Structure 1
Amino acid sequence: MHRFLLTLSLSLLSFFPVLAQSTAPASLPTIGVFTTGMDRNPGFLPFYWDARKGKIWLEIDKLDTELLYYPTLAQGIGSNDIGLDRGRLGQEHIVKFQRSGNKVLMIEPNYAYRALSNDPLERRAVEQSFAQSVHAGFEVAAEENGRVLVDLTPFLLQDAVGAVQDIARTKQGAYRFDATRSAMYMLQSKAFPQNTEFETIITLTGDQAGPYLREVVPTPAAVTMHQHHSFVQLPDDKYKPRLFDPRIGYGGIEFFDYASPVSQPIMKRYISRHRLEKKDPTAAVSEAVKPIVYYIDPGTPEPIRSALLEGTAWWNQAFDAAGYKNAFQVKLLPPDADPMDVRYNLVQWVHRSTRGWSYGASIIDPRTGEIIKGKVTLGSLRVRQDYLIAQGLVGSFGADTTQKAANDPMMAMSLARLRQLAAHEVGHTLGLPHNYIASTQGDTPFGRASVMDYPTMVATVKGNAIDISDAYATGIGAYDKWSIRYGYEQFVAGSNEKQQLDKLVSNMHKTGLSFLTDQDARPEGSVHPATHLWDNGANAVDELKRVMEVRRIALSNFSEKKIPVGTPMATLEEVFVPMYMFHRYQVEAAAKVVAGQTYTNALRGDGQAVMAPVPAAEQQRALDALVSTLTPSVLAVPDAVLKMLPPRPFRFNPNQREVFKRHTGLAFDALAPAEAVAGLTYRLLLNPDRCARLVRQHALDPKLMGLDALLNALNKQTQTNSTTNSPYWKEINQQNERLYVDALIRLASNKETDGSVKAAVHNELLTLNTRFTNAFKPGHYTYLHWAIGRYLNDPDQISTPGAMTPPDGAPIDPGQDWLSSPCDVY
Structure 2
Amino acid sequence: MKYILLLVFALSLQLGLAQDKSTKDLDSILQTMPKSEGLISTYFEDDKLYFKFPEEVLEKDLLMVTRLKQLPANYSAYRNAGSKTSEQMIHFVKVGKSIDLVQVLTTNVADEEDPISLSVAQNNLNPILASFPIKSDEGKDIVIEVSSFFNADSPSFNIIPDGLKSEYKIGKADDKRSRINTVKSFPQNTEITHTLTFPTSKPPRGNSTNTFTFQINHSIIALPENPMQVRYEDSRVGWFGLRKYNYSSDALKSDELRLIRRWRLEPKDEKAYAKGKLTEPIKPIVYYLDPATPKKWRKYFIQGIEDWNSAFEKAGFKNAIQAKVAPTEKEDPNFSPEDVRFSTVRYVASTTRNAVGPSVSDPRTGEIIESDIIWYHNHLRSYRNRYLLETGAANPKARSLDTPEEEIGEMMRRVISHEIGHALGLPHNMKASSAYDVESLRSGEFTQKMGIAATIMDYARYNYVAQPGDKNIRFVRQLGPYDDYAIEWGYRYFPNSSAEEDKDILKKFVDQRSTDPLYMFGGRGNDPDAKTEDIGNNSVKASTYGLSNLKIVAKNLDSWTTTAGQNYEDLEELYGEMLGVYRRYIYHVVSIVGGVNETLLHKGQEGIPYQVVNTTEQENALKFISDHVWTPQYWLVDEALVSKFAKGGKLESLINMNKRVLNRLTNAKRLNMMWDTHSTLPGEGLSPQELLDALVKDILTSRTTPDQVERELQKHLVHQLIELEKDKDLALELKGHSLALQNGVLSNLKTEMNTSDQTLKAHYTYMVKMLEKAMEVGD
Q: How many angstroms apart in 2 are the aligned matches of 1:404 and 1:570?
A: 19
Structure 2 counterpart of 1:46 = 41
In the TM superposition, what is the alpha-carbon distance from 1:81 to its structure 2 partner?
Answer: 3.4
1:439-588 to 2 correspondence within 5 Å?
A: 439-442=433-436, 445-446=440-441, 447-460=452-465, 462-463=467-468, 470-474=474-478, 476-493=479-496, 496-509=501-514, 511-518=516-523, 521=524, 526-569=525-568, 572-588=571-587
2:616 is aligned with what amino acid? Answer: A
CA distance in 1, matches of 2:601, 2:723: 37
Does structure 1 conserve the Cα–Cα contact (< 8 Å) formed by 2:527 and 2:595?
yes
CA distance in 2, matches of 1:779, 1:414: 54
User: Equivalent residue for 1:708?
Assistant: 689
Aligned partners of 1:358, 1:116: CA distance in 2, in Å? 41
Name the residue aligned to 1:368: 365
Name the CA distance, whole Å, in 1 between partners of 2:203 and 2:677: 49
Structure 2: distance between partners of 1:573 and 1:70: 42
Tell me: CA distance 1:442–1:460, structure 2 relative to 1, closer, same or farther (3 Å).
Answer: closer
On the 8 A contact 1:176/1:206 being kept in 2, the answer is no
Q: Distance in 1 between matches of 2:17 and 2:120?
A: 39
**2:180 aligned with 1:180, yes or no?**
no
Q: Residue 743 of structure 1 corresponds to which residue in structure 2? A: 720
Q: Which residue is 2:655 aligned to?
A: 675
For structure 1, which segment, 668-677 or 365-374, has the greater mean C-alpha deviation from structure 2 after superposition? 668-677
* Aligned equivalents of 1:614, 1:56: Cα separation in 2: 63
Does the 8 Å CA contact 1:110/1:127 hold for their aligned counterparts? no
d(CA) in 1 for partners of 2:555, 2:301: 35
> In 1, are the aligned partners of 2:632 and 2:710 still within 8 Å (CA)?
no
Displacement of 1:720 after TM fit?
A: 6.4
**Residue-by-residue CA offset, 1:416-460 (whole Å, 9 max, x unaligned):** 333222212211111111111100115883451011111142235
Bigger mean CA deviation after superposition, 253-262 or 222-231: 222-231
The 1:406/1:345 distance shift into structure 2, 3 A limit, reads farther
- 8 Å CA contact 2:515, 2:599 repeated in 1: no
Task: Establish whether residue 71 from structure 1 lines up as the match of residue 66 from structure 2.
Answer: yes
2:334 aligned with 1:340: no
Q: Deviations over 1:526-554 (max 9, x none)?
A: 43221100101011222122222122322
Pair 1:308–1:127, CA change in 2 (3 A):
same
What secondary structure does 2:369 align onto? strand
Q: Secondary structure at the match of 1:594?
A: coil
Q: Which runs of 5+ in 1 are unaligned?
A: 1-6, 397-402, 648-666, 797-826
Determine the C-alpha separation between the residues in 1 that align with 2:377 and 2:287. Answer: 19
Residue in structure 2 matching 1:249, options 225, 238, 252: 238
Q: Return the alpha-carbon distance in structure 2 between the equivalents of residues 793 and 466 of structure 1.
A: 60
Verify the 8 A CA contact 2:167 2:202 in the aligned structure 1.
no
- Residue 174 of structure 2 aligns with an amino acid whose one-letter code is D
Paired residue secondary structure (2:32)? coil
Q: CA–CA distance in 1 between the matches of 2:308 and 2:297?
A: 18
Residue 510 of structure 1 deviates from its aligned partner by 5.9
String of CA shifts for 1:663-682, please: whole Å, max 9, x gaps.
Answer: xxxx3333223223212321
Give the 5 Å matches for 1:625-664: 625-635=624-634, 637-641=636-640, 644-647=643-646
1:240 to 229, 232, 238: 229
Aligned residue for 2:618, secondary structure, equals: helix
Residue of 256, 260, 264 corresponding to 1:275: 264
Distance 1:512 1:580, change over 3 A: closer
Q: For the structure 1 residues 550 and 267, does the alpha-carbon distance in structure 2 shift closer, same or farther, using more than 3 Å as the test?
A: same
The amino acid of 2:216's aligned partner reads Q
Equivalent residue, structure 2, for 1:384 = 381
Q: Taking structure 1 as reference, are residues 497 and 443 closer, same or farther at Cα in structure 2, changes over 3 Å only?
A: farther
Q: Confirm or deny: 8 A CA contact 1:632 1:730 kept in the other structure.
A: no
TM-score in terms of structure 2 length = 0.86
Correspondence for 2:291 among 298, 308, 315: 298
Deviation at 1:735, TM superposition (A): 1.2
Give percent identity, aligned residues only.
24
Secondary structure of the residue aligned to 1:573 is helix
> Are the counterparts in 2 of residues 159 and 202 from structure 1 also a CA contact under 8 Å?
yes
* Structure 1 residue identity aligned to 2:414: Q
Distance 1:303 1:551 in 2: 31
Give the C-alpha shift of residue 405 in structure 1. Answer: 12
Which of 113, 116, 128 is equivalent to 1:134? 128
Q: Shift in Å at residue 578 of structure 1?
A: 2.8
Distance 1:697 1:48, change over 3 A: closer
CA distance in 1, matches of 2:367, 2:527: 32
How far apart are 1:79 and its partner, in Å? 4.5
Describe the SS at the equivalent of 1:716: helix
Q: Distance in 1 between matches of 2:669 and 2:613?
A: 16
Shift of 1:370: 0.8
Q: Deviations over 1:578-602 (max 9, x none)?
A: 3344332232222232222223221
2:347 corresponding residue in structure 1: 349
AA at the equivalent of 1:247: R
8 Å CA contact 1:319, 1:485 repeated in 2? yes
Measured after TM superposition, the shift of residue 183 of structure 1 is 2.3
Q: Partner residue of 1:93? A: 88
Whether contact under 8 Å (1:293, 1:328) holds in the other structure is: yes
Deviation at 1:558? 3.8
Amino acid at match of 1:497: D
Q: Alpha-carbon deviation of 1:210?
A: 1.2
Residue 467 (structure 1) shift: 9.4
CA distance in 2, matches of 1:686, 1:363: 43
Could you tell me which residue of structure 2 aligns to residue 322 of structure 1?
A: 315
Matches within 5 A, 1:597-608: 597-608=596-607
- In the other structure, the counterpart of 2:449 is none
Paired residues of 1:256 and 1:267 also in contact (CA < 8 A): yes
Distance apart, 1:228 and its partner CA? 1.6
Q: CA deviation at 1:790?
A: 3.8
In 1, Cα distance between equivalents of 2:771 and 2:202: 40
The 1:406–1:563 alpha-carbon spacing in structure 2 relative to 1, beyond 3 Å, is closer
For 1:367 and 1:690, the matched residues in 2 are separated by 40
Q: 2:678, 2:610 → 1: CA distance? A: 16
Match of 2:100, SS state, is strand
Residue 767 (structure 1) aligned to one of 734, 744, 760: 744
Does residue 756 in structure 1 map to residue 761 in structure 2?
A: no
1 CA distance for matches of 2:559 and 2:75? 31
Q: Cα gap change, 1:369/1:458 in structure 2, threshold over 3 Å: closer, same or farther?
A: same
2:263 aligned counterpart, secondary structure: coil
State the distance in 1 between where 2:679 and 2:693 align: 18
For 2:168 and 2:224, how far apart are their aligned partners in 1?
40
Question: Do the aligned partners of residues 70 and 413 (structure 1) sit closer, same or farther apart at CA in structure 2, a change above 3 Å counting?
Answer: same
Relative distance call for 1:636 and 1:782 in structure 2 (3 A) is: farther
Cα distance between partner residues in 1 of 2:516 and 2:378: 38
Matched residues in 1 for 2:721 and 2:530: separation?
27
- Kindly indicate whether the alpha-carbon contact (under 8 Å) linking 1:308 and 1:418 is maintained by their aligned counterparts in 2: yes
Counterpart of 1:582 in 2: which secondary structure?
helix
Q: Provide closer, same or farther for how the CA distance between residues 316 and 722 of structure 1 changes in structure 2, counting only shifts above 3 A.
A: same
| Kept in 2: contact 1:249–1:515 (CA 8 A) | no
Counterparts in 2 of 1:255 and 1:611: CA distance versus 1, 3 Å: same
In structure 2, C-alpha distance between the alignment counterparts of 1:69 and 1:240, rounded to whole Å: 22
Deviations 1:237-271 (A, max 9, x none): 24100011111011111111111223586111111
Provide the secondary structure at the position in 1 that maps to 2:774: helix
